[in-house]
Amino acid sequence: MRSRDGNRPFTFSICTLILLTSLTLHAKEYFISYRYVVKDATLYNETLYVSSAMQKCSGVPQEAIVLENSKKSNSLKEILLKNIDHFLSHVNKLALDVKHTEKTKNLHNSSTTILTLKTTCFKVDFNDNFVTIAPFK
Amino acid sequence: MKYSLLLAALLSASSLMAVDTVQAQDSQEQQPAQSITVECATNECPPPPPALEDEPVLTHNKDVLISVTGQGVAPMNTTSPAQAYALAKRAAVADAYRMIAEKVKGVRVDGEDLIKNMMVKRSTVRTSVQAMVKNANVVETTFKDGLCEVEMEIVLSHSQFAR
């Protein structure tokens, strides 16, 4: 029969294991895509798609950003839209697809630029007042 | 009567020669334009001109920094100056990305002129660019008089292209 002192490391390791497992399970993976259209130097349309991943994403999480979640919302889309500027400054460092067309007809010019973040898997950690997201690479 | 027939024959011969000469001149004038079209249509365009002295060239041990300034304006129906700033900045960032893509990858230009009765009825120029831009950094943002300017930089290294 083990003494109480002898059981302490065992209990500690079990607790650590449970904590780590819960943290791992708590981290979710989401697919995020973003697209915006600029027409004649003016923002015309903006679309943000967020979807929970049904399969585990492959790759290594890259540099993470921390977004504020003061309302303790569970909706990632809501959080991203609230911190869209911070998120976009991070997205700018990722690969963005640029499509630009310009038409000059009888000296009248019109242009359309479409910037797209292709669907990318992000690792998302929901905490009390903030959310950490990191893109997979 | 004899002389008149001879004169008529001479006149017709000279007019035929003149037509031949004009056609030859026309074909000579049109030749360069035709040759350009044919050469580029079969992907045998002449090689690009050599780089200028001031133009940066991407080499093994020298990275190239490309710096652009994109401009954007806010829409008319904004609810606050902050929203106007945010939207104008987004447009300016897109413009800066477009400029980077144009500098790095180049622009496709299509032109079309419709001329009817010796007058230009319609003149259309279409330009387009499509590229994937990675690791671009916003250096500075300024917002003045409704116009947002974003300075953006990208560093190109030889290893990114040589694979």
Confidence at residue B32, expressed as pLDDT on a 0 to 100 scale? 45
Backbone phi and psi for residue B150, each to the nearest 5 degrees, phi listed first = -120, 125
One-character DSSP codes across B19-39: HHHHHHHHHHHHHHHHHHHHH
- CB count within 10 Å of CB A117 equals 21
The total of structural domains in chain B comes to 2
For residue A46, give both structure tokens.
């903006």
Q: pLDDT band at residue A121, thresholds of 50, 70 and 90?
A: very high
Q: Which residues of B touch A96 (CB under 8 A)?
A: 97, 132-134, 136
Residues B69 and B39 in one domain: no
Q: pLDDT band at residue A54, thresholds of 50, 70 and 90?
A: very high
Residues B78 and B139 in one domain: yes
Q: Is residue B8 part of a domain?
A: yes
Across the range B64-74, mean pLDDT stands at 93
Residues B73 and B143 in one domain: yes
Q: Is residue B34 part of a domain?
A: yes
Residues B68 and B107 in one domain: yes
Contact of A55 with A136, CB cutoff 8 Å: no
**How large is the greatest C-alpha to C-alpha distance in chain A, in angstroms?**
95
Residues B15 and B77 in one domain: no
Q: pLDDT band at residue B50, thresholds of 50, 70 and 90?
A: confident
Chain B residue closest in CA terms to A104: B125
Query: Which residue range is the domain that position B116 belongs to?
Result: 64-161
Residues B97 and B131 in one domain: yes
Whether the CB of B150 is below 8 Å from some CB of chain A: the reply is no
Strand ranges inside chain A, DSSP E: 28-39, 42-52, 65-68, 96-105, 108-126, 130-135
Q: Is residue B54 part of a domain?
A: no
Q: Which residues of B touch A92 (CB under 8 A)?
A: 93, 136-138
Residues B35 and B75 in one domain: no
Confidence at residue B35, expressed as pLDDT on a 0 to 100 scale? 41
Q: Is residue B59 part of a domain?
A: no
Q: Is residue B23 part of a domain?
A: yes
Using CA atoms, how far apart are residues A99 and A101, in angstroms rounded to an integer?
Answer: 7
Whether the CB of B87 is below 8 Å from some CB of chain A: the reply is yes
Q: Is residue B75 part of a domain?
A: yes
Confidence at residue A14, expressed as pLDDT on a 0 to 100 scale? 60
